[in-house]
Chain A
């Protein structure tokens, strides 16, 4: 099969299919992942081809899904768990933080839990409450977990295959508002980069915009708009939230002297706080301005009719860019 134009959903689906083919121990489990193919159709067709034993429709109980996935991993399986929506992961939070993240260390390395937890996350799709959350900081704060988020179909495909192949637990955050974006994916090719590396998505010399998942596209648009005003904005797609590829960030910010971090999650105690602190430590003498942050407000994710107010958009990113350039 040559390279094809895939939506992110199809790119993820194809990644699951390849992973299931490559390793008979790989399983897919979650709510409605079987005949329905998942509420976003990411597992479409897998049940037909791989059957009940490997594509497992589970009872509607997230802690149960996570806990039994851990048991299956102890038995030598490699479960790929789907949590149906971001806001539904909290019933599984205890199993993720207390068991999944810590069991390898508790066992002094005797136990490995190669589990991938796929979670459609973020807003912008006009959903009801609990369907638009960005909870990456909770997971990134927990040692023992790795956290990644692709921004485009190519990364979605390859990063999922890499996450499944990893012997560590990986929280895989899928930007659901980008599920229908298209990109050219060649499943027979090779992964473009290691899983935990950042990528310069657009080179520039005046300021570095740092984003991941759904906000990369917004930042690329902002950089395009800023170019019309004569500002050369670099955009770094973080891709991995734990570990963070600080070397790529440092190199970029040392070139540009300015950085703005953008995410949907609330600014307060968000990824941007940690990134700003560490960039400041690494790039102090190169910085021309404080590292600024653009994100959600410190309020529950709002009803969809006002979510555009809550979500960082082109204008809010450009506003921060202007403020940083004004220093």
Chain B
């Protein structure tokens, strides 16, 4: 790939975009990345995409209704997450940002687990070892180093597990991400860096993060980078599988740039109308990740209306379960503040817990702690 520099601007040659399923639902072949799928598998992929979008929509609604304090929607990124999520084996680890609800779904994490932190009852709290899905990481890019360290551990153990590190276009500017690239490269760690370039880091476009296509950065670190159509679930699946196989075979890290679009706001606290134009959104609607799979299934006659209705019904069931689950999520006991600060305890934490308990008891049930002066 050549980069020409003229008059202070860098212009990259048009980057290649790996695509196996067009926005119109037409299956196309790629010279480097092939994929065999059965009709059953395609229906299962479609189901994942629909359920994940429905869950995400329900969480947005719950935030609007005051049941969640915040929600970071994945709308538009379902294919990137379901494709890369389904490429993983159970022994593989995923290190997510705070938006990888679709990856969590594919790993078998109960969606309700993801909502605790957005409701404010915990900071995550699930057991990462249960589904090999690390806790959400809010500070941008930090988890890429954890993923790399974990992958270094896999090498030491001599197993053929691998790791997927998720991050975004904004995170690509972080030192930690670049250090993760360096460590992964020099230790040849079995990690796949999966960058969802959704074009926007809150209000800043990708041009504010980079002057070269992000996947090209990998070359400077000494490992391959691939740009994939992030709204094409089949391409994301195929390319992630390929990268994971490389990792398992001792061929080291890979950078995948999933070229996609954040259809919603950064979070429910954001207002994208202040910084981007509606036309852009309309353009990306035509590349919807779910519609193209549906069109493919219909064209091939691998699914009928009964199937689509059943998936819709299941998604409504999921939404109901999520809604009830969130509403019934109890607030934590105040003394939980002092829980799990240390694995082996700490005298000051014990002392302050005891002081709080005594203080709370002094109200003697006459009024709630915190309501008094």
Q: How far is the CA of A68 from the CA of B156 in the complex (A)?
A: 13
- Say whether, besides A94-B142, A146-B342, A71 and B153 are in contact (CB < 8 Å): yes
Q: How far is the CA of A76 from the CA of B139 in the complex (A)?
A: 23
Cβ-defined contact, A243 with B153, below 8 A: no
- Whether a CB of chain B sits under 8 angstroms from the CB of A144 is yes
Cβ-defined contact, A61 with B339, below 8 A: no
Cβ-defined contact, A59 with B340, below 8 A: no
- Whether a CB of chain B sits under 8 angstroms from the CB of A208 is no
Cβ-defined contact, B145 with A70, below 8 A: yes
Enumerate chain B residues within 8 angstroms of A196, measured Cβ to Cβ: 347
Enumerate chain B residues within 8 angstroms of A166, measured Cβ to Cβ: 344
Q: How far is the CA of A69 from the CA of B183 in the complex (A)?
A: 11
Cβ-defined contact, B340 with A105, below 8 A: yes
Enumerate chain B residues within 8 angstroms of A112, measured Cβ to Cβ: 343
Taking the closest CB of chain B, its distance from the CB of A142, in whole angstroms, is: 11
Cβ-defined contact, A61 with B149, below 8 A: no
Residue on A with the closest CB to B337? A105
Q: How far is the CA of A157 from the CA of B126 in the complex (A)?
A: 37
- Say whether, besides A67-B176, A243-B346, A108 and B340 are in contact (CB < 8 Å): yes
Cβ-defined contact, A68 with B343, below 8 A: no
Cβ-defined contact, A75 with B142, below 8 A: no
Residue on A with the closest CB to B127? A110
Cβ-defined contact, A95 with B145, below 8 A: yes
Residue on B with the closest CB to A240? B347
Contact of B153 among A75, A103, A111, A146 (CB under 8 A): A75
Enumerate chain B residues within 8 angstroms of A95, measured Cβ to Cβ: 142, 145, 176
Interface residue tally on B, bucketed by range: 35 or more
Enumerate chain A residues within 8 angstroms of B341, measured Cβ to Cβ: 104-105, 143-144
DSSP class of B's interface residues: helix, strand, loop or mixed? Answer: helix
- Whether a CB of chain B sits under 8 angstroms from the CB of A167 is yes
Cβ-defined contact, A67 with B182, below 8 A: no
Cβ-defined contact, A108 with B145, below 8 A: no
- Whether a CB of chain A sits under 8 angstroms from the CB of B29 is no
Cβ-defined contact, B154 with A75, below 8 A: yes
Q: Which residues of chain A from 110 to 154 have any CB-CB distance to chain B below 8 Å in the complex?
A: 110-112, 114, 143-144, 146
- Whether a CB of chain A sits under 8 angstroms from the CB of B205 is no
Pick from B117-125, B240-248, B296-304 the stretch touching chain A.
B117-125
Taking the closest CB of chain B, its distance from the CB of A61, in whole angstroms, is: 4
- Say whether, besides A106-B123, A106-B124, A71 and B342 are in contact (CB < 8 Å): no
Contact of B135 among A107, A114, A246 (CB under 8 A): A107
- Among B137, B148, B149, max chain A CB count under 10 A is at B149
Enumerate chain A residues within 8 angstroms of B347, measured Cβ to Cβ: 196, 243-246
Enumerate chain B residues within 8 angstroms of A63, measured Cβ to Cβ: 145, 175-176, 179
Question: B117-160 vs A: 1/0 string, CB under 8 Å?
Answer: 00000111111110000110101001011111111111011000
- Whether a CB of chain B sits under 8 angstroms from the CB of A72 is yes
- Whether a CB of chain A sits under 8 angstroms from the CB of B10 is no
Contact of A53 among B156, B339, B343, B348 (CB under 8 A): B156
- Say whether, besides A104-B342, A106-B125, A107-B127, A70 and B149 are in contact (CB < 8 Å): yes
- Whether a CB of chain B sits under 8 angstroms from the CB of A280 is no
Taking the closest CB of chain B, its distance from the CB of A317, in whole angstroms, is: 27
- Whether a CB of chain A sits under 8 angstroms from the CB of B349 is yes
- Say whether, besides A59-B179, A105-B340, A75 and B122 are in contact (CB < 8 Å): no
Residue on B with the closest CB to A77? B153
Taking the closest CB of chain B, its distance from the CB of A94, in whole angstroms, is: 7
Residue on B with the closest CB to A107? B135
User: A-B pairs with the 4 shortest C-beta distances?
Assistant: A71-B149, A67-B145, A75-B153, A68-B149
